[in-house]
């Protein structure tokens, strides 16, 4: 994955460089005046707009169901806007720009905004939902069977229509053979003469005045069954599935008056703390089920002040730059050297070599990374066995660093070779021929003519490759996993990139901490954006010199 095709942004076209684009508005302007409505064009338009409407209708139902009116409004406005735009004959430039812009908003802008907003919350395991969710979870998970209470056989019945009538639990006590009917008003005993009880299952199979629901009918009213609680003196009778019921009691209950959870067995209380999104007891104990709250700049101050994060930060940052520069630089040098060699007119069989050289690029990098990891194994690895070495590759700081850069070199050079070949073919041969007429050595002509022209074309790609390698999670996680680690510091390894390091911080502790992870990714975004901005600015200057 060192080659950046899947990374965000490294589109091979350098913006504004193709002559085609400059010509585009002119052709479309003429098209507006003369374009006849062709049958194909009409069909394409109808099909695409039909799809848009289809997707909109399909997306509308869940939004309506969730009563998400803002989302529905956005959906309707977008769809209406698209229809207006493509059914009218005006706004030609917008017709070209809108699809790309929509996708940009959906797949780039929205995730960035979402990440940024997550950074200000404590969103993560134990803090995913709302406070109400947490309260429900606390209460339901504390329901215990009343000690010594009866396990009833349950039949679900109704006095009305099986699909809509209000529900009653028909209960039979397997020990005393007594039968009861229970609903939200309480439990009442039934006359044994009015009901039939199966001797096999102990369940009530018929009762006067009730319509019995079979399991299929009952299961379609699952929510109502779960919600039906028959109050008793000790607690309440709840269904346990569709054929049994038990008398249970919620040990912990939420009290809105004190905004706290009380345990009726121990008398302990946990008061809601809106700052951390947890119920906290006086002794500092927290209930596991918390909720999502805004924590302001807490995550940012954690990143800056927590010694676990800030202490190894600069060392990791330095290696991160070294890794990204080395991965990009070496792959570029090797790729360009091969491209130059194959570009020489004296070279024979270039297509054959090109196919061979492109092979690493054609293989899935995930699998290749795993194979390389195994090849670096001290005792069983191919490298040590082949060369008779006994290097503990992933055990030493520098050998591990060299190993990951080597893997990147192998994975990444075909990409550089490809783009360099393309760029070389665009450089007119007359230029190099002119230098040789002037008596320049091949090296001088390469330095003075070929390389600068290559760099003009390839700089944006190199920057993209740098940005990609800066965050190349796979290259590290699939090989060294950030190791080797110093014996006294298991959180930060010698080959850790910022992104793998923060991955461990955010997901290594008690479950995922998305809030903290989002914060760190904002920091990384800032670093990469700054580096890229500076590089692009310098590239532009270079272009002005050479073009």
Partner 1 sequence: MRIRTAGVVAVLGLALAASGCGDSGSDKPAADESAKATGGKLVIWADDKRTAALKPFAEEFGKENGVTVEVQAVSKDLQTNFVTASQQGSGPDVVVGAHDWIGNLVQNGAIDPVQLPAEQKSGFDETAIKAVTFNGQLYGVPYATENVALIRNTELAPEAPKTIEDLVATGKKLKAEKKASEILCLQSGQNGDAYHIYPLYTSGGGYLFGTAANGDYDPKDLGVGKPESIAAFQKIAQLGEKGEGALKRSITGENSIATFTGKKCAFLVSGPWAVADAKKAGIAYDISPVPGFAGGKEAQPFVGVQAFYVAAKGKNKALAQEFVTNYVTKPELAVALYKAEPRPPALTAAFDQVKGEDADLAKFSEAGKNGQVLPAIPAMAAIWDPFGKAEAAIIGGADPAKTITAAGKTIQGQIK
| Residues 469-488 contacting partner 1, CB under 8 A | 480-481, 483-488
> Is residue 144 a contact point for partner 1 (CB under 8 A)?
yes
Count CB neighbours of 454 within 10 A: 21
Residue 40 CB, nearest distance to partner 1 (Å)? Answer: 14
Nearer CB in complex with partner 1: 86/300: 86
Q: Which of 119, 170, 181, 242 binds partner 1 (CB under 8 A)?
A: 242
Region 309-368 residues binding partner 1, contact defined as CB under 8 A: none
Nearer to partner 1, 56 or 358 (CB): 56
Near partner 1 by CB under 8 A: residue from 11, 46, 322, 382: 46
Q: Which of 211, 378, 397, 535 binds partner 1 (CB under 8 A)?
A: 378
Give the list of residues 6+ apart from residue 406 with CB closer than 8 angstroms, or none. Answer: none
Distance of CA 263 to the CA centre of its chain: 38
Site residues for partner 1, window 114-133 (CB under 8 A)?
125-126, 128-129, 133
**Beta-strand (E) ranges in 178-240?**
179-183, 186-189, 195-197, 204-207, 211-212, 230-231, 236-240
Residues whose CB is less than 8 angstroms from the CB of residue 471 and which lie 6 or more positions away in sequence, other chains included: 497, 498, 499, 524, 528
What three-state secondary structure class fits 256? coil
Residue 185: count other Cβ atoms within 10 Å of its Cβ.
8
Kindly identify the residues of this chain, within the stretch 477-536, that bind partner 1 according to CB under 8 A: 480-481, 483-491, 504, 508-512
Residues 428-457 that bind partner 1 (CB under 8 A): none
> Which one of residues 17, 244, 268, 343 is an interface residue with partner 1 (CB under 8 A)?
244
Please tell me whether residue 58 binds partner 1 under the rule CB under 8 A. yes
19, 36, 147, 216: which one binds partner 1 (CB under 8 A): 216
Give, as ranges, the residues between 392 and 411 that touch partner 1 (CB under 8 A).
392, 394-395
As a 3-state breakdown, the chain gives helix, strand, coil percent values, each rounded to 5, of 55, 15, 30
387 touches partner 1 by CB under 8 A: no
Provide, rounded to whole angstroms, the least separation between the CB of residue 370 and partner 1: 8
Closest to partner 1 by CB, 484 vs 515, is 484
- Whole-number Å distance between alpha carbons of 189 and 20: 87
Q: How far is the CB of 227 from partner 1 (least distance, A)?
A: 10
| Neighbouring C-beta atoms of residue 287, cutoff 10 Å | 20
Give 133 or 196: the residue with its C-beta nearer to partner 1: 133
Which of 219/441 has CB closer to partner 1? 219
Count CA atoms closer than 13 A to 281's CA, side-chain side.
11
Complex with partner 1: residue 41 or 428, whichever CB lies closer: 41
The binder of partner 1 chosen from 10, 182, 290, 360 (CB under 8 A): 290
Only one of the segments 17-25, 356-364, 378-386, 518-526 lies at the binding site for partner 1 (rule: CB under 8 A); that segment is 378-386
What angle (nearest 5°) sits at the alpha carbon of residue 536, between those of residues 531 and 542? 130
Residue 352 region by backbone torsions, left for phi larger than 0, else alpha for psi between -120 and 50, else beta = alpha
CA distance 367 to 373: 10
Residues 62-101 that bind partner 1 (CB under 8 A): 83, 87
CB atoms within 10 A of CB 109: 11
d(CA 118, CA 284): 26
């Amino acid at each position: 994955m060192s080659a950046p095709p899947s990374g965000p942004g490294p589109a091979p076209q350098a913006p504004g460089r193709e002559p085609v684009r400059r010509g585009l508005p002119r052709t479309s302007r003429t098209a507006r005046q003369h374009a006849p409505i062709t049958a194909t064009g009409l069909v394409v338009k109808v099909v695409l707009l039909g799809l848009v409407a289809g997707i909109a209708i399909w997306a509308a139902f869940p939004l309506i169901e969730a009563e998400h009116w803002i989302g529905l409004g956005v959906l309707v406005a977008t769809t209406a806007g698209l229809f207006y735009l493509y059914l009218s004959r005006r706004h030609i430039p917008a017709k070209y720009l809108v699809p790309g812009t929509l996708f940009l908003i959906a797949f780039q802008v929205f995730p960035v905004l979402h990440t940024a907003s997550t950074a200000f919350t404590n969103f993560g395991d134990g803090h995913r939902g709302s406070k109400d969710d947490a309260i429900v979870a606390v209460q339901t998970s504390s329901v215990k069977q009343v000690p010594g209470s009866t396990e009833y056989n349950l039949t679900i019945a109704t006095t009305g229509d099986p699909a809509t009538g209000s529900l009653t639990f028909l209960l039979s006590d397997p020990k005393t053979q007594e039968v009861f009917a229970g609903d939200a008003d309480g439990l009442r005993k039934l006359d044994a003469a009015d009901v039939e009880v199966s001797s096999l299952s102990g369940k009530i199979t018929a009762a006067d005045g009730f319509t019995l629901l079979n399991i299929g009918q009952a299961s379609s009213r699952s929510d109502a069954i779960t919600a039906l609680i028959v109050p008793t003196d000790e607690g309440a009778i709840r269904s346990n599935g569709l054929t049994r019921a038990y008398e249970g009691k919620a040990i912990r209950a939420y009290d809105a008056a004190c905004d706290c959870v009380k345990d009726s067995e121990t008398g302990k209380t946990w008061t809601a703390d809106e700052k951390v999104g947890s119920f906290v007891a006086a002794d500092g104990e927290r209930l596991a089920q918390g909720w999502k709250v805004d924590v302001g700049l807490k995550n940012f101050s954690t990143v800056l002040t927590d010694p676990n994060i800030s202490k190894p930060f600069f060392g990791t940052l330095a290696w991160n730059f070294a890794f990204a520069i080395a991965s990009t630089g070496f792959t570029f040098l090797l790729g360009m050297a091969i491209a130059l060699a194959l570009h020489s007119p004296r070279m024979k069989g270039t297509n054959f070599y090109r196919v061979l050289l492109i092979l690493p690029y054609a293989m899935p990098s995930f699998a290749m990374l795993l194979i390389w990891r195994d090849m670096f194994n001290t005792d069983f690895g191919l490298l040590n066995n082949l060369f008779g070495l006994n290097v503990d590759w992933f055990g030493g700081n520098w050998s591990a660093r060299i190993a990951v850069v080597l893997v990147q070199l192998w994975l990444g050079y075909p990409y550089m070779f490809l783009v360099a070949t393309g760029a070389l073919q665009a450089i007119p041969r007359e230029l190099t021929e002119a230098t040789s007429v002037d008596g320049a050595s091949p090296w001088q002509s390469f330095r003075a003519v070929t390389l600068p022209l290559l760099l003009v074309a390839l700089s944006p790609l190199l920057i993209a490759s740098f940005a990609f390698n800066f965050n190349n999670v796979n290259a590290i996680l699939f090989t060294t996993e950030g190791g080797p680690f110093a014996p006294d510091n298991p959180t930060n390894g010698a080959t850790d990139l910022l992104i793998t390091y923060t991955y461990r911080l955010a997901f290594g502790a008690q479950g995922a901490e998305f809030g903290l992870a989002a914060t760190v990714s904002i920091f990384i975004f800032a670093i990469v954006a700054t580096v890229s901005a500076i590089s692009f600015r310098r590239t532009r200057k270079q272009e002005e010199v050479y073009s």
